[in-house]
C-alpha cells in the first residue's frame, strides 16, 4: 500500500485558499464575476468549464483563451476546485482511492478503478450516510450533509487528474459514500454535466446509480427519462434479515422495492442489477440463495454477488469460496444470472467509507498538524 502525502500530489491545486468559492460549485459567483464581459460572459463561463472538465486544467492562468484581466480576477476571487485531495492510496491493481477535503473541512471518498479498457470513477453523494447498514464503514458516523452538484462533479475532476495520458474516464458508478437517492436532485444535475459534450461526454448507459432501495425515488429516477443503470442493494431475501442488516428496510420492505425496480425496468427498458453482499454465516447459505432465486426468477434482472471486504471495527467475515460457488449455482438453478464481483483495491482501504473512517479515527487520536494538510 502506498500512502502519498498531499504535498506530493495534484500540484497547482493545493495552494489556493479554500475560502474562495469554486467555479463548479458557486455558479452565481461565477456569473456575477463574468457579468461585466457582457455578451461574451456565457461563452467565457463555458470555456472555463471546458478547461476544467475536458482538459483537466486547474489553473486559471493556463486558460489562455480567456481575457488576461478576467483570468486575474478569477485567480483573485475564485478557485478552480474548492475540494482538494487530502490523502491517496494506490492498490497493486492500480485502483486509486482519494480522500477529498471539502471547503468546509468535511471529507468524502472517491475511487478510480482500472479494468481492461474501462476507467471507472466511483463517487459519493453525501458526507457520511444516514442509512445505517451494519456492514458499512460509511454509515458508522451517520450523515453530515448532502453534497452539492458541483462537489459531486469535482470528484470526477480529481479522478481525472489521476488518469495517465492514454487513459479516458469511461464509466461512473454512484456507489461511494451516501445514499444517492437521498440527494437525487443534485446527483442528476451533476450527471447531466458528466454526460454533456462540454463536460465529460459520458454515455448515460455507462453510469450506474446504486441505492439501498427508496421506492418513491426509484420511480422518480425512472420517470426522468434517462438511460442510467440502476443497482439495488438487496443484501437479504427476507424481511427480518434485511431489516437487521439494513435498518431502512423496516420502512420500505422488500416487496415495495422490487415493485419499484419492476417499474424502473418497465419504464426505461433497462435491466436492474441487484447487489448482494455475502456475509459469512449470515446471508450466504443455501436457504438464502433459494429465497433470492425465487424472488428474482420471474424478473429480468442480474445479481452482483459481493464477498464482504473486511472492515476494521466490524465483526463480519468474508465467505469461503465454496459458499460463494454454491450460492451462485443455486441462483443458476432458478434461472437467475449472477456474477461475483472482483475485489478491486484489495490491499488498500477499499471498502466504502473506510479511508474516511481511518482519517476520522486518526483525527480523534492525534494532534491536528499530523493529519491535516
Ligand atoms: S451501504 Fe450504502 S446505503 Fe448503506 S450505509 Fe453504506 S453508504 Fe449508506
Q: Is residue 14 part of a domain?
A: no
Q: Is residue 46 part of a domain?
A: yes
Do 53 and 97 lie in a common domain?
A: no
Determine the residue of 125, 126, 212, 355 to mutate for testing ligand 1's pocket, defined as the one with the most ligand atoms within 8 A of the Cβ atom.
Answer: 212
359 pLDDT higher than 60: no
Q: Is residue 5 part of a domain?
A: no
Q: Is residue 42 part of a domain?
A: yes
What are the backbone angles phi and psi of residue 50, rounded to the nearest 5°? -65, -45
| Sign of the CA dihedral running 305, 307, 311, 315 | positive
Query: What pLDDT digit, counting tens, does each position of 311-344 carry?
Result: 777 889 999 999 999 999 999 999 999 999 876 6
C-alpha cell at 240: 427480518
Do 196 and 143 lie in a common domain?
A: yes
Asked if 53 and 200 count as a contact pair (C-beta separation under 8 A), the reply is yes
Give me the domain span that covers residue 30.
22-80
C-alpha span between 150 and 187 (Å, rounded): 9
- Distance from the alpha carbon of residue 170 to the mean position of ligand 1, in angstroms: 24
Do 254 and 309 lie in a common domain?
A: yes
CATH number of the domain enclosing 211 = 3.20.20.70
Do 274 and 356 lie in a common domain?
A: yes
Query: What pLDDT digit, counting tens, does each position of 112-153 carry?
Result: 999 999 999 999 999 999 999 998 877 778 999 999 999 999
Residue (of 193, 183, 174) closest to 110 by Cα position: 174
Predicted pLDDT at 39 = 94
Question: Is 109 labeled as catalytic in the residue annotation?
Answer: yes
Do 46 and 183 lie in a common domain?
A: no
| Burial of residue 322, with CB atoms counted within 10 A of its CB: 0-12 exposed, 13-18 middle, 19 or more buried | exposed
Query: What pLDDT digit, counting tens, does each position of 12-40 carry?
Result: 344 344 479 999 999 999 999 999 999 99
Residues in the chain: 373
Do 75 and 91 lie in a common domain?
A: no
Q: Which of 109, 179, 275, 358 is catalytic?
A: 109
Residue 114 is classified by DSSP as E
Beta strands in 183-300 (DSSP E): 207-211, 229-233, 272-278
- Ligand 1 and 236: CB distance under 6 A: no
> How many domains are there within the chain?
2
- Distance from the alpha carbon of residue 328 to the mean position of ligand 1, in angstroms: 24
Q: Is residue 337 part of a domain?
A: yes
236 pLDDT higher than 60: yes
Domain boundary among 80, 101, 128: 80
**Chain Cα centroid distance, residue 51:** 23
Amino acid at each position: 500500500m502506498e500512502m502519498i502525502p498531499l504535498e506530493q500530489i495534484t500540484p497547482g491545486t493545493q495552494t489556493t485558499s479554500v475560502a474562495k468559492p469554486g467555479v463548479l460549485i458557486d455558479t452565481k459567483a461565477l456569473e456575477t464575476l463574468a457579468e461585466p464581459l457582457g455578451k461574451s460572459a456565457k461563452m467565457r463561463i463555458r470555456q472555463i468549464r471546458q478547461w476544467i472538465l475536458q482538459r483537466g486544467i486547474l489553473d486559471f492562468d493556463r486558460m489562455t483563451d480567456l481575457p488576461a484581466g478576467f483570468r486575474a480576477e478569477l485567480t483573485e476571487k475564485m478557485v478552480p476546485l474548492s475540494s482538494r485531495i487530502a490523502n491517496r492510496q494506490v492498490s497493486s491493481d492500480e485502483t486509486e482511492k482519494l480522500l477529498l477535503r471539502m471547503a468546509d473541512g468535511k471529507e468524502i471518498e472517491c475511487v478510480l478503478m482500472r479494468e481492461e479498457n474501462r476507467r471507472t470513477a466511483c463517487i459519493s453523494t453525501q458526507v457520511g450516510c444516514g442509512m445505517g447498514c451494519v456492514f458499512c464503514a460509511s454509515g458508522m458516523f451517520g450523515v453530515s450533509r448532502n453534497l452539492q452538484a458541483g462537489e459531486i462533479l469535482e470528484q470526477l475532476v480529481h479522478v481525472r487528474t489521476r488518469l495517465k495520458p492514454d487513459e479516458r474516464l469511461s464509466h461512473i458508478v454512484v456507489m461511494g459514500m451516501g445514499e444517492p437517492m437521498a440527494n437525487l436532485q443534485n446527483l442528476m444535475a451533476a450527471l447531466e454535466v458528466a454526460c454533456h459534450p462540454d463536460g465529460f461526454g459520458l454515455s448515460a448507459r455507462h453510469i450506474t446509480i446504486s441505492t439501498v432501495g427508496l421506492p418513491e425515488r426509484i420511480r422518480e429516477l425512472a420517470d426522468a427519462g434517462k438511460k442510467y443503470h440502476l443497482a439495488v442493494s438487496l443484501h437479504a431475501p427476507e424481511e427480518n434479515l434485511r431489516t437487521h442488516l439494513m435498518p431502512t428496510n423496516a420502512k420500505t420492505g422488500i416487496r415495495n422495492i422490487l415493485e419499484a425496480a419492476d417499474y424502473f425496468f418497465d419504464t426505461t427498458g433497462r435491466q436492474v442489477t441487484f447487489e448482494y453482499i455475502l456475509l459469512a454465516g449470515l446471508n450466504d447459505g443455501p436457504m438464502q440463495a433459494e429465497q433470492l432465486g425465487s424472488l428474482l426468477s420471474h424478473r429480468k434482472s442480474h445479481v452482483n454477488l459481493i464477498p464482504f471486504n473486511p472492515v476494521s471495527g466490524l465483526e463480519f467475515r468474508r465467505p469461503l469460496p465454496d459458499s460463494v460457488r454454491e450460492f451462485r449455482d443455486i441462483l443458476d438453478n432458478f434461472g437467475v444470472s449472477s456474477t461475483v464481483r472482483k475485489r478491486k483495491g484489495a490491499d488498500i482501504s477499499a471498502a466504502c467509507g473506510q479511508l474516511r473512517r481511518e482519517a476520522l479515527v486518526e483525527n480523534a487520536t492525534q494532534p491536528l498538524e499530523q493529519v491535516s494538510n
